[in-house]
Amino acid sequence: MPPAPQGAPAGPWNPPQPGQQPGLPYGQPNPYAQQPVYGAYPPPTMPPPPPGGPDKKRTAIIIGSVLAVLLAVGGTVFAVSGGDDDGGKPSAGAGKKGSGKDGDSAEIDGGGGDGDEEAGARPGDDGLTGSGGKGEGKVLWQKPAPDVPKSGVDTPGFWLADGSAVKAALESVTAYDAGKGKEKWSVELGGPVCASSLNATADGRVAVAYEGEKKDRCSHLALIDLKKGKKVWDKALPEGGGFGGFIGTTVAVGGDTVGSSWFGGSALFRLDDGKELTDTARISGCTPNGFAGGGTFLLRSYSCTEGGRLQKLSSGGKVEWTYQAPKGFNVSNIFSADPVVVSLSDKDNKSGGILAIGGNGKVRSQIDLGKETYRPACGLRIMSQKLDGCQGVAASDDMFYLPTEDKKQSGDGFGRYNEIHAFDLDTGKRKWKSAAGDDLTMMPLRTDGGNLIAYQRPTYEQSGRIVSIGAKGGKPTTLMQNPAAARDAENGFYSPFLVYEDGRFYLASDRVTGTSSGSPEKLLLVIGKG
């Protein structure tokens, strides 16, 4: 590895710091830590739910005009899913552009399918299925969490494709009917899934990494066709995992290429057959930092002494452009791959700001954060290569959206609220802000034409809701109020990946804890209009 960069100035945003052990098969971080916490390798998580949620630890990143710290606090993971109807383009991912037209967000389909299965309690659930009062959405279906040790197990991977909701968990990838929850197919793997691509390709293929034998933590790679329900190929990652194993493995898909990286190594593979590609794009003297998928291309980040690099790789791993960060700084997070929005930090995790990179690899703008403090959700990590793991952000062709930290409500109460701020990607300037409301907090999910779709978290008194914010900001408009009966279930996920698509709200667990306080722990919960 090259020596760490030196002497970078402080900046407005700070990603996670290393310090804690990397996630091992059943490792779990301290759920009660309140001091600054240093990196681990659970899935990315979101800021805290309001009072009344379960006392479970999640993580979040603080962004601001001064050096920020990573807090171990409660919260949820957010995701974005753009695309057509159930039979259309597969979708998943965070901070991506929605495919709907202006105003589409207000048009909600029934979400419940044709209703050939009886509603109400079903085997293995807790009676929530079918619940929902007047003016509320309805719990369409749910899946219980698998039995795991009380130390917990990571369960990364959730996608929508071809009318299916597809979830990776333990040693399998399983598809369920998106409206009714009936199992459609399941693909078995040779070990527990430990990493997954954030997005599917346009034709519905995803990559997952799973645990190998002996000391190899995350050393095998498989490509799954979500439309056919079949494994396309399956292979071991190349030798050279570093420290005798594969730590912090991540995987991304883009165009006709799969990229995988781990602490001490990286590789490119041909999407169709898994053949390892000759990596002619690799930069000498730099350490690969990870990949992010951008639909028809991959982004790859490097740590370099003279300033980090970010490459855009097209077909077969060909370099389209390379961005070089200022000396002493590296790309620490990829908030959006299309358009490209990244954060920079130095070896001490002092910020180099948030940048939009244009189509030629040049800086399009630097986001003007001012004196505000922002808090998207980026997972704690050490030696992890997960650059595209930040949730609670969203981007369109010309806009970028960030949530502020929770702020104390005026008066003598203990209430908290926050805002979402919208930034122009051409100028970096803030265009508008929208407040969640008294005692309410919210996070971006995705864009929908000129509108922004966001999730308003549950409170003591009410369940969460899906809201829309117009192209000029203003007060959020409710698209769907989640059932009051499901409030505890919403808060009960340790680390959910959240997707709102076609009038359905999916909560998919990225980590099963093996413990339960109150209702049974869930792997999936799906809410829609009844």
pLDDT in tens, the chain (530 residues): 433 333 333 233 333 333 332 322 222 232 222 222 222 223 333 334 443 343 343 434 444 433 333 322 233 332 222 333 444 445 554 344 543 333 333 333 333 434 344 333 344 567 888 888 889 999 999 999 999 998 899 999 999 999 999 999 999 999 999 999 999 999 999 999 999 999 999 999 999 999 987 667 899 999 999 999 999 999 999 976 555 578 889 999 999 999 999 888 899 999 999 999 988 888 988 988 899 998 899 999 999 988 999 999 999 999 999 999 999 999 999 999 999 999 999 988 888 899 999 999 999 999 999 999 999 988 666 666 789 989 899 999 999 999 999 988 777 667 889 999 999 999 999 999 999 998 999 999 999 999 999 999 998 888 999 999 999 999 999 999 999 999 999 988 888 899 999 999 999 999 999 886 667 899 999 999 86
pLDDT given for residue 32 in this prediction: 25
**318 assigned to some structural domain:** no
**98 assigned to some structural domain:** yes
How many structural domains compose the chain?
Answer: 1
The Cβ of residue 19 has, within 10 Å, a number of other Cβ atoms equal to 13
Q: How far is CA 438 from the centre of its chain?
A: 27
**36 assigned to some structural domain:** no
Cα Dmax for the chain: 65
pLDDT given for residue 179 in this prediction: 95
**30 assigned to some structural domain:** no
Alpha-carbon dihedral 435, 439, 440, 441, rounded to 10 degrees: 80
Distance between CA atoms of residues 135 and 77, nearest Å = 26
Nearest residue to 94 (alpha-carbon basis) of 81, 83, 103, 85? 81
pLDDT given for residue 520 in this prediction: 84
Sorted by sequence, the CB contacts under 8 Å of residue 155 that are 6+ apart come out as 167, 168, 169, 170, 193, 509, 510, 511, 512, 523
DSSP annotation string for 178-196: TTT--EEEEEE-SS-EEEE
Distance between CA atoms of residues 408 and 387, nearest Å = 31
- For residue 284, the 8-state DSSP code is T
**254 assigned to some structural domain:** no
Distance between CA atoms of residues 520 and 516, nearest Å = 6
Nearest residue to 33 (alpha-carbon basis) of 25, 42, 24? 42
**407 assigned to some structural domain:** yes
The Cβ of residue 411 has, within 10 Å, a number of other Cβ atoms equal to 8
SS3 for 163? coil
Bridge partner list, 416? 408
**CATH number (domain holding residue 463):** 2.130.10
Distance between CA atoms of residues 268 and 124, nearest Å = 41
pLDDT given for residue 212 in this prediction: 85
* pTM listed for this prediction: 0.79
**31 assigned to some structural domain:** no
The two tokens of residue 439 are: 């005692």
The two tokens of residue 491 are: 């808060």
The two tokens of residue 147 are: 């039995």
Q: Please, what is the Cα angle at 20 between 15 and 21, to 5 degrees?
A: 125
Sorted by sequence, the CB contacts under 8 Å of residue 144 that are 6+ apart come out as 124, 125, 520, 521, 522, 523
Question: In the Cβ-directed half-sphere of 157, how many Cα atoms lie within 13 Å?
Answer: 33
Q: How far is CA 382 from the centre of its chain?
A: 17
Distance between CA atoms of residues 359 and 380, nearest Å = 30
pLDDT given for residue 59 in this prediction: 38
Burial of residue 414 (number of CB atoms within 10 Å: 0-12, 13-18, 19+):
exposed
Q: Domain range holding 444?
A: 58-143+153-249+332-529
Evaluate whether 490 touches 476 at the Cβ level (below 8 Å).
no
The two tokens of residue 509 are: 């667990």
**327 assigned to some structural domain:** no
Sorted by sequence, the CB contacts under 8 Å of residue 182 that are 6+ apart come out as 117, 176
